């Protein structure tokens, strides 16, 4: 029995996060390669110690990923991968549902010092988390959105969000270029030369987003590091960035070649 090439660690990790142990993953993978194998064959294919194969198979049967023949020796048959994955996800899904309602109960009865929270400045790490928070804030915008950001970022992460706001806020966008349509109620200022000077030079900021003059999100990404962002509703913070925005807006009108698009 050739052991086949052993499965990638990544695959096993993936199966682990679906609720299997390393052995369970190995045995399941082994069974997919050789449907109807005996315990000893599984041991040989998967590299799992023979004595450990039995309890592991028990668990897999229990989880409904494997069925057993009642021959001697026993033979085992694995659910095809698609169905197997669905089954594993089902188990997780039901847990997720339970946890969801349970946590919601806890959440609605929480104590929450809103007053002070507002003055705090929050850090967000990881580009995905930043994008999420940003999209949410833009989606919740009531009247006004101010943006300084390079177009690549807007295009890849924000384009749809900007068109899909419920309350049609007035948007002012300062960026380096623009493709396609401009959203309604929107002014796009395109700084054709050296946009970098404005916000990408020293401090590595790659974007400033001010929502309803009430919330700011500033993205900072220095090369090499994970991108991070700060988010606040603090007045001081807001004043600073509102001023900064006004300053930039005024500055580029005078010093740069600016093209204006109206939505």
**Residue ranges binding a second copy (CB under 8 A):** 7-8, 10-11, 13-15, 17-19, 29, 32-36, 61-62, 64, 67-71, 75, 77, 80-82, 84-85, 88-89, 91-93, 95-96, 98-100, 102-104, 106-107, 109-113, 116-117, 120-126, 128-129, 132-133, 230-231
CA dihedral (255, 256, 257, 263) positive or negative: negative
Written as six digits, the tokens of 172 are 């002012």
- Contacts (Cβ under 8 Å, ≥6 apart) of 239: none
Choose between 64 and 263: whose C-beta lies nearer to a second copy: 64
The verdict on 2 binding DNA (CB under 7 A) reads no
At closest approach, how far in Å is the CB of 251 from a second copy?
28
At closest approach, how far in Å is the CB of 20 from DNA?
8
Asked if residues 68 and 24 have their Cβ atoms less than 8 Å apart, the reply is no
Length of the chain: 263
The verdict on 54 binding DNA (CB under 7 A) reads yes
Residue from 1, 3, 14, 21 touching DNA (CB under 7 A): that is 21
Residue from 4, 22, 240, 242 touching DNA (CB under 7 A): that is 22
Residue from 49, 81, 126, 236 touching DNA (CB under 7 A): that is 49
- Contacts (Cβ under 8 Å, ≥6 apart) of 139: 161, 164, 165, 166
Of a second copy, DNA, none, which one does residue 110 interact with (CB within 5 to 8 Å by kind)?
a second copy
The verdict on 91 binding DNA (CB under 7 A) reads no
Distances (CA, A) of 177 to 184, 192, 232, 261: 18, 7, 28, 10
Count CA atoms closer than 13 A to 168's CA, side-chain side: 3
- Contacts (Cβ under 8 Å, ≥6 apart) of 15: 24, 25, 28, 29, 88
The verdict on 250 binding DNA (CB under 7 A) reads no
CA torsion 7-8-14-20 (nearest 10°) is 40
At closest approach, how far in Å is the CB of 96 from a second copy?
5
Of a second copy, DNA, none, which one does residue 132 interact with (CB within 5 to 8 Å by kind)?
a second copy
Of DNA, a second copy, none, which one does residue 168 interact with (CB within 5 to 8 Å by kind)?
none
- Which among 17-25, 160-168, 186-194, 226-234 is the span making contact with DNA, rule CB under 7 A? 17-25
- Contacts (Cβ under 8 Å, ≥6 apart) of 186: 162, 170, 171, 172, 173, 262, 263
Q: Which residues bind DNA (CB under 7 A)?
A: 21-24, 38-40, 48-52, 54-55, 72-74
């Amino acid at each position: 029995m050739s052991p086949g090439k052993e499965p990638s660690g990544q695959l096993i990790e993936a199966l682990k996060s679906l609720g299997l142990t390393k052995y369970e993953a190995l045995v399941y993978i082994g069974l997919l390669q050789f449907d109807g194998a005996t315990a000893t064959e599984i041991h040989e294919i998967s590299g799992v110690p023979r004595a450990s194969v039995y309890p592991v198979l028990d668990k897999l049967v229990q989880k409904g990923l494997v069925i057993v023949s009642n021959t001697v020796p026993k033979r085992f048959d694995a659910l095809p991968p698609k169905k197997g994955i669905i089954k594993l996800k089902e188990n997780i899904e039901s847990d997720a549902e339970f946890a969801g309602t349970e946590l919601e109960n806890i959440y609605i009865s929480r104590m929450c010092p809103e007053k002070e929270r507002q003055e705090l400045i929050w850090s967000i790490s990881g580009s995905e988390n930043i994008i999420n928070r940003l999209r949410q804030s833009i989606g919740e915008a009531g009247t006004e959105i101010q943006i300084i950001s390079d177009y690549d970022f807007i295009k890849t992460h924000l384009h749809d969000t900007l068109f899909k706001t419920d309350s049609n806020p007035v948007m002012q966008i300062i960026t380096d270029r623009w493709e396609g349509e401009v959203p309604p109620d929107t002014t796009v200022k395109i700084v054709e030369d050296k946009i970098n000077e404005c916000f990408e030079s020293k401090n590595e900021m790659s974007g400033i987003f001010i929502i309803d003059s009430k919330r700011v999100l500033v993205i900072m990404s220095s090369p090499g590091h994970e991108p991070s962002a700060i988010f606040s509703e603090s007045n001081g913070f807001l004043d600073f960035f509102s001023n900064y925005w006004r300053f930039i807006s005024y500055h580029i009108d005078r010093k740069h070649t600016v093209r204006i698009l109206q939505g």
